[in-house]
Structure 1
Amino acid sequence: MNNITGLIIAFVYIFSLIGIAEGLRRWQGLTSAFTRKVVHIGVGMMIWFVPFLFTSPWPFVFASAFFAVLNFLDWKYGFFAAMSSSDRANLGTVYFPIAAAAVTLIFWDQPPLMVAALMPLTWGDGLAPVIGKTYGRHPYTIGRATRTLEGSTGFFLTAFIATWLALWLMPPPPELLPATALLPALVVSLATTLTEAVSPWGLDNLTITAVA
């Protein structure tokens, strides 16, 4: 696909997600904490389509840099209520596109690894706080980070499934069968679950991806 067309699709997709999240917040009464995760997961899933939208990693890196700057301005001035965080020190939305750009550059020629590297952040980190706040009954604290066992379990399970599917379903190289993709998915999910448990809020968007 032409890179310009790919960029247009990427920008329309992301701004549409933000618009949908804002609509859910305004008209369905959902909290910003929830709509922020809608955008988080939706944007993360875009990595599945990046190899088909672009002929090189650089257009996506450009888009990621644009959104890193935009998200920083949003963090500072509050343009998008659907993406706001109650923790003003949380720069997670800025770190997310940086992480996406990094895995795209590193694994551009290996689509399964490129997508898999972002899945713990997309699904694990996306759903863990929701699961923890809804079902969390067993909190624990490591250093300055407080989590729940339920949230961490949700992180592990969702990260494992999403990582396994990415390793299996994305076109090679490398080519991994469903069975052979299980062990690397398990290792990545365990490592990123432990990393998320000890990482400060927001910074885990970088540490999780670095470990993956």
Structure 2
Amino acid sequence: MLVAQGIYESPTGRDISGLIIAYSISVSLLIVSELLQRCCNVSSSITRKIIHVGAGLCVLCVIGLFDHWQYAVIPHTSFIVVNAMIRRWRILKSMEPPNPMTLGDAFAAVIGERFGRRRHYAAIDTDTPPEGKTYEGSAACFVAIFVGVLFVGYICSVISWTDALISAVVGTFFEAVSPWGTDNLTVPLSVCSAIYAIRM
């Protein structure tokens, strides 16, 4: 059970085991996705989605393993840096394409690529306009964020339908206007900020 204690609280045994499990899951996702891409010729766009969705959802599996929230956020925060390094030096083929994130962005990418017909573009994202985002993808992003926030809220018994609706609107907006793959950061940060603002 997470507790809101001081920022300098020493880690407990549960915190340490939680860190080990969280990192083990994340590293396993990277290894499996890379093997799928290199050995089974699975598209890197698919393996990247597997990594992002799997890493995002593993939060629900490990969050209850920690005693302090300060240690619960370490694994995913550190992987922001790891992800940036992997993309910068193209270390893993399974993460090469510049899209998605956990649910919202992943669904936007999948639905947009498969069913998207009407495109819109972030104003400053002029490098690859033919690959711009679609309204169909944005609609899928809205639904995914709305359902995802409701699901997490149900588990934590804190989120209402209104919270989920506002979060989905905010997250979908940032997914739509964020260029160059930056929605990997802007979507989760904007959704979390929206929920925090509502709950203040």
Once the two structures are TM-superposed, the CA of residue 65 in structure 1 deviates from its matched residue by 4.5
**Using the alignment, how far apart are the partners of 2:17 and 2:173 within structure 1?**
39
| TM-score, normalization by structure 2 | 0.76
Written as runs of structure 1 = structure 2, the 5 A alignment for 1:39-188 is 39-85=51-97, 87=98, 122-145=102-125, 146-170=132-156, 172=157, 174=158, 181-188=160-167
RMSD (Å) for aligned C-alpha atoms = 2.2
Task: Mark the runs of 5 or more structure 1 residues left unpaired by the alignment.
Answer: 93-120
Once the two structures are TM-superposed, the CA of residue 165 in structure 1 deviates from its matched residue by 1.0
Could you report, residue by residue, the CA deviation over 1:12-61 in whole angstroms, capped at 9, with x for unpaired residues?
10111112212222343222122111100111112213431211123234
Quote the sequence identity (%).
32
Once the two structures are TM-superposed, the CA of residue 198 in structure 1 deviates from its matched residue by 1.0
User: Contact 2:21 / 2:62 at 8 angstroms: preserved in 1?
Assistant: no
| TM-score, normalization by structure 1 | 0.72
User: Contact 2:87 / 2:96 at 8 angstroms: preserved in 1?
Assistant: yes
User: Contact 1:195 / 1:207 at 8 angstroms: preserved in 2?
Assistant: yes
**Using the alignment, how far apart are the partners of 1:72 and 1:195 within structure 2?**
20
Partner of residue 3, structure 2: none
User: Contact 1:34 / 1:130 at 8 angstroms: preserved in 2?
Assistant: no
1:31 corresponds to 2:43: yes
Once the two structures are TM-superposed, the CA of residue 139 in structure 1 deviates from its matched residue by 1.0
Corresponding pairs, count: 173
Residue aligned with 1:2, SS: helix
1:198 corresponds to 2:184: no
Taking structure 1 as reference, are residues 63 and 191 closer, same or farther at Cα in structure 2, changes over 3 Å only? closer
Kindly provide the amino acid, as one letter, of the partner of residue 124 in structure 1. G
User: Contact 1:37 / 1:127 at 8 angstroms: preserved in 2?
Assistant: no
**Higher Cα radius of gyration:** 2
Task: Mark the runs of 5 or more structure 2 residues left unpaired by the alignment.
Answer: 1-12, 126-131, 192-200
Written as runs of structure 1 = structure 2, the 5 A alignment for 1:11-30 is 11-30=23-42
